[in-house]
Structures are given as C-alpha cells and as structure tokens.
C-alpha cells in the first residue's frame, strides 16, 4: 500500500494532487442544457482512449500517490465494457477510493455490478422531479428511469449516495425544497453545484440563469436550519447537516467561494488531455505519450510528474464575458 504522501504529485503552490477525475467517454444519452449544445460533435473514435489506455493512466496516477479516482464523462455508463475498466481500477493497490458520477439512466441495470466492482460511493445527477421539466433540462432524459436508477442504487447498498443538482434561475429554482425533501426521504445526500461557463451555449444566458450557493442555502435554511460541518469528501463541497435528518446538504461554489487554494485534483479527458484546472486550459497531452510508448507506464509517469508544474494557481470564471473555456463539461470530465 502506498500510504506515505507522495512527493511526486506536488505542484508549484505546494498542493498535493491526490484526486483524479477520469473521463471515460464524452458521449452521453442526455443533452443537459447547461452542459452540452443540442447538436454536439463528439471526439473522433480514433482520438478516444481505449479501456487499456485509461487503465494505464489510472495505474500511473495511483503508483504516483493518487488516492482517489472518480470515473465520469459524458455518461460513464454508456461506454461499452465499462465494467471491465471499473473492476481493473477497483483492484489497484494503493487506491483508497473509486467513485462514479452518473446521470442514473443505466443504474437499474448496472448498480449492482458497480458495487461489486468496488465502487462504494456514487453521485447521481438530478435537476428536477417534474417529468416534463426534467425532459426539457436534459433534452432527452426520462425522469422515471433515473428515479428507478436511484432506487436501484439505494437497494444495492452503496456506502454513500449523493445527488448532484444544478439550479438555474427561471428553470428549477422553485424545486430546491422539493429536491431537499426527496434527498431526505431517500436518506441520501444532495449537493447543489453552481453553473460554470464551460463551452458556448445559446440555449440560455448563463449570467441570467446563475443561482449562487448562498441564495440556495438561504432558501433551504429558511425551512431546515443548517449547521456547517467541516466534513469533506476530498472535493470542493461544503457540507451542512440538518438536525432532523441524516442527509447532508453540500454546496459546490466555484464562483462565489473560491476553493482553488485547496485544490487537490486534476482531470483527464477521454482524449488523454491531462487538465490541471477546470477553469484553465493548462494541459499535458498524455495520449501522445501513451501511443508513442504503448503499454509502458514509466514515460506516462514522467509526463504526469512534469505536468504538475503547469497547474495554475486559480481559475477565473466570469459569467458576463464570453466563456474563456471553450470545451464543454462533457469533454472536461465534470
């Protein structure tokens, strides 16, 4: 077991990178309005990392001291043979936690296999409990399928299930309490994520739809008094507890509360781009290294170590301006 803090994944600002978000596909069965354009152009198949390449990247990070890997996308569960990758990463010696973020549409079929493959915590995204509205926000999603998926995940016995919700003004802000009540009823956690200006969308104006964590917290705490906790899941969520429920309420606030100084994470896109920051383009091209040295882990590790120097101090999101980040969240590994 690699218990000691690795000196290898430390950046110029003395932050230790322990958490890797690995995008296993840019494809998705939904087209959420804040995440994608209606007509998306996805990466050419030849540019997409194979499952073996994704596994080698995961192995390299873990051997360098990463403790936590989250599989994401796009929708990770639409990738063919994803379960083989989950099983192989789940067995890496030194990895403390393997997690997954999903839109829930495939969970009735896959929850149990995911759990058996070593995933103990899972995040499921849900922005509305009203079928027609859910369809409008996701453009293609079927609410009932996701609700069934959430129930399947609960029945499977994951250690922790967290719902992820993006609140957009004029869209679903009237459902904040309903969504909190849903989490309480199901005895799961819920995190509210501030919308981030990733990718150019014309479906809505992000500056007008933006709903801050503070606004949401005020609405929730008017109904349920919230107590701040210092709990972390090695992510940027700030958690609150309620005195009459086990469910925790998290807020992920890249705009209103800058958490860059605590950032312990990097992302890898399905095209093998190692992104050092969600809100900057600083990156290293791992695919070229992988394909020049097929199956070899050492050149990959060298490239990852070298990339630590590229991690910028902080992101600069500004909703009033054109997005500086042209990649969409599904490309980024949200």
Kindly list the strands in the beta sheet with 19-23, ordered across the sheet, starting from the edge strand earlier in the chain: 226-228, 238-242, 245-252, 189-193, 160-166, 121-125, 97-102, 68-72, 19-23, 265-268, 273-275, 283-285
Q: Of the two residues 154 and 201, which places its CB atom closer to ligand SF4 in the complex?
A: 201
Given candidates 18, 19, 30, 213, which one binds ligand SF4 under the rule CB under 6 A? 30
The answer to whether residue 63 forms part of the interface with ligand SF4 (CB under 6 A) is: no
Token code pair at residue 130: 């009203």
The answer to whether residue 106 forms part of the interface with ligand SAM (CB under 6 A) is: no
> Which residue reads 């919308």 in tokens?
195
- What is the footprint of ligand SAM within residues 154-193 (CB under 6 A)? 164, 166, 193
Token code pair at residue 85: 């990758």
Q: Of the two residues 6 and 191, which places its CB atom closer to ligand SF4 in the complex?
A: 191
When CB distances to ligand SAM are compared, the closest residue is 334
Shortest separation between residue 293's beta carbon and ligand SF4, angstroms: 31
H/E stretch holding 273 reads strand 273-275
CA distance 176 to 213: 11
The answer to whether residue 73 forms part of the interface with ligand SF4 (CB under 6 A) is: yes
Neighbours of 55 (CB within 10 A): 18
CB-based contact 121:191 (threshold 8 Å): no
> Which residue reads 């906790």 in tokens?
229
Shortest separation between residue 73's beta carbon and ligand SAM, angstroms: 5
The answer to whether residue 212 forms part of the interface with ligand SF4 (CB under 6 A) is: no
The answer to whether residue 269 forms part of the interface with ligand SAM (CB under 6 A) is: no
Q: Of the two residues 97 and 203, which places its CB atom closer to ligand SAM in the complex?
A: 203
CA distance 300 to 56: 8
Residues that bind ligand SAM (CB under 6 A): 28, 34-35, 72-73, 75, 101-103, 125, 164, 166, 193, 195-196, 198, 329-330, 334
Residues that bind ligand SF4 (CB under 6 A): 28, 30-32, 35-36, 73-75, 103, 125, 329-330
């Amino acid at each position: 077991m690699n218990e000691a803090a690795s000196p290898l994944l430390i950046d110029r600002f003395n932050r230790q990178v322990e958490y890797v978000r690995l995008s296993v596909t840019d494809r998705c069965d939904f087209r959420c309005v804040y995440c994608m354009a209606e007509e998306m152009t996805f990466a050419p198949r030849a540019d997409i990392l194979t499952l073996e390449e994704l596994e080698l990247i995961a192995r390299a990070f873990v051997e360098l001291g990463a403790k936590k890997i989250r599989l994401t996308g796009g929708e990770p569960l639409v990738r063919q043979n994803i379960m083989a990758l989950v099983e192989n990463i789940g067995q890496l010696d030194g990895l403390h936690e393997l997690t997954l973020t999903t839109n829930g549409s495939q969970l009735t079929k896959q929850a149990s296999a995911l759990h058996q493959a070593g995933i103990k915590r899972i995040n499921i995204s849900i922005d509305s409990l009203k079928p027609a509205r859910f369809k409008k926000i996701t453009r293609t999603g079927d609410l009932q399928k996701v609700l069934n998926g959430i129930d399947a995940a609960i029945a499977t016995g994951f250690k922790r299930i967290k719902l992820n919700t993006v609140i957009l003004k004029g869209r679903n802000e009237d459902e904040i309490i309903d969504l909190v009540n849903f989490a309480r009823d199901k005895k799961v956690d819920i995190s509210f994520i501030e919308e981030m200006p990733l990718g150019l969308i014309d479906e809505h104006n992000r500056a007008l739809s933006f709903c801050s964590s503070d606004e949401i917290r005020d609405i929730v705490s008017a109904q349920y008094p919230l107590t701040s906790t210092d709990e972390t899941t090695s992510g940027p969520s700030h958690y609150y507890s309620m005195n009459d429920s086990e469910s925790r309420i998290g807020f992920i606030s890249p705009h209103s509360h800058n958490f860059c100084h605590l950032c312990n994470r990097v992302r890898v896109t399905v095209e093998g781009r190692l992104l050092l920051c969600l809100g900057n383009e600083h990156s290293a091209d791992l695919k070229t290294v992988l394909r020049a040295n097929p199956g070899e882990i050492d050149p990959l590790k060298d490239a990852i170590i070298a990339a630590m120097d590229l991690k910028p101090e902080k992101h600069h999101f500004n909703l009033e301006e054109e997005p500086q980040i042209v990649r969409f969240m599904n490309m980024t590994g949200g």
